[in-house]
Amino acid sequence: MVGKLAAVAIGGNSLILDPKRPDVSHQWEAVDETCKHIASMIAEGWNVIVTHGNGPQVGYILRRSELAAHEVHTTPLDLIVADTQGAIGYMLQQSLDNELRRLGINRTILTVVTQVRVDPEDPAFKKPTKPIGGFMTEEEARKYEAEGWNVVEDAGRGWRRVVASPKPLAIQEINAIRALIMNDYLVIAVGGGGIPVMRNERGELKGTYAVIDKDRASSLLAQTLRADLFIISTGVEKVALNYNKPNMQVLDQMTLTEAKRYMDEGHFAPGSMLPKIEAAVEFVRMGGPQAIITDPPNLARALRGETGTRIIPG
């Protein structure tokens, strides 16, 4: 395996630069921009495994399916997650290959359709919290709520649909992922947090109506692979206390103790920044050297310690 291993988790929202222009052509622009920074990491000697979110994309496909239900069959949520793993994985594969070729680097990139096992008794199934789809006004959200949606206000950014988000327990394809990395392949895996599956009373795997938080699943992947670094790439350059308030304070670094105190004080929004902090904390708590949270344009600068928020032991 070439170089130290970094697990890079790309947010689904960071793949859509302008919420008013979520169409595929503009998603390509965001993917190309993100892959430039990942390619720079590889050029500097890092081996990388990439994960990605899919919240907006899943929401759009789910709504499209509902609108077309009078004409064609609807699509279950686990299959939609699988669809987005393939589509976003394809975009990342192609764009990253193009960027590496420009840098004179020849690596094979592939996407692993990844199942992640969850507990059928997870309390998340009784209290949906994971936002998917685009942002709505409260008026729009209330209209969809009347149709049976669960909706929440999302960190001051607007209203969104929410679904169950159970805790990831195990990555089914982990042995294949590890073998690919050890053989010098660049791997994209655990897309959208993985396809949520559970075992029935006969021990058979079955999909379930849920979306696993991609940061928690990515943290589990980074822990299992004993990555040297876990990077969460999201829509902000640094983590902040009192986000979007007059007394907002950006953070350069947090120890585990400080991060726990900030979480206990309620500084991070559920379904938004909170799961990112929890994922970074869990990686470091389980022995990972450090985690970084930043946005795609600042990946390289964050690696050099110039920006981003670093979570460290202590």
List, as one string, the DSSP characters of 25-73.
Answer: HHHHHHHHHHHHHHHHHHHTT-EEEEEE--HHHHHHHHHHHHHTTTTS-
Known catalytic membership, residue 200: no
Known catalytic membership, residue 130: yes
Q: In whole angstroms, give the CA distance from residue 45 to residue 129.
A: 38
Give the active site residue among 47, 89, 214, 238. 214
Give the active site residue among 53, 193, 271, 276. 276
Q: In whole angstroms, give the CA distance from residue 256 to residue 236.
A: 21
Known catalytic membership, residue 276: yes
Report DSSP state, residue 172.
Answer: T
Q: Distances from the Cα of 302 to the Cαs of 37, 151, 155, 222, 253, in angstroms? A: 11, 34, 24, 18, 11
Give CA angle at 267 (265, 269), nearest 5°: 125
Known catalytic membership, residue 214: yes
Give the active site residue among 47, 130, 191, 288. 130
Residue 98 CA from chain centroid, whole number: 23
Q: For residue 253, with 0-12 CB atoms within 10 Å meaning exposed, 13-18 middle and 19 or more buried, which class applies? A: middle
Amino acid at 249: Q
Q: Which residues contact 151 (CB under 8 A, 6 or more apart)?
A: 136, 141, 142, 144, 145, 159, 160, 161, 162
Report DSSP state, residue 314.
Answer: -
What is the three-class DSSP state of 273?
coil
Give the active site residue among 13, 47, 54, 298. 13
| Four-CA torsion 199, 224, 215, 273, nearest 10 degrees | 120
Give the active site residue among 11, 12, 193, 271. 12
Radius of gyration (C-alpha) of the chain in whole angstroms: 19
Known catalytic membership, residue 192: no
Tokens 């928020």 belong to residue: 309
The residues assigned a catalytic role are 12-13, 130, 214, 276
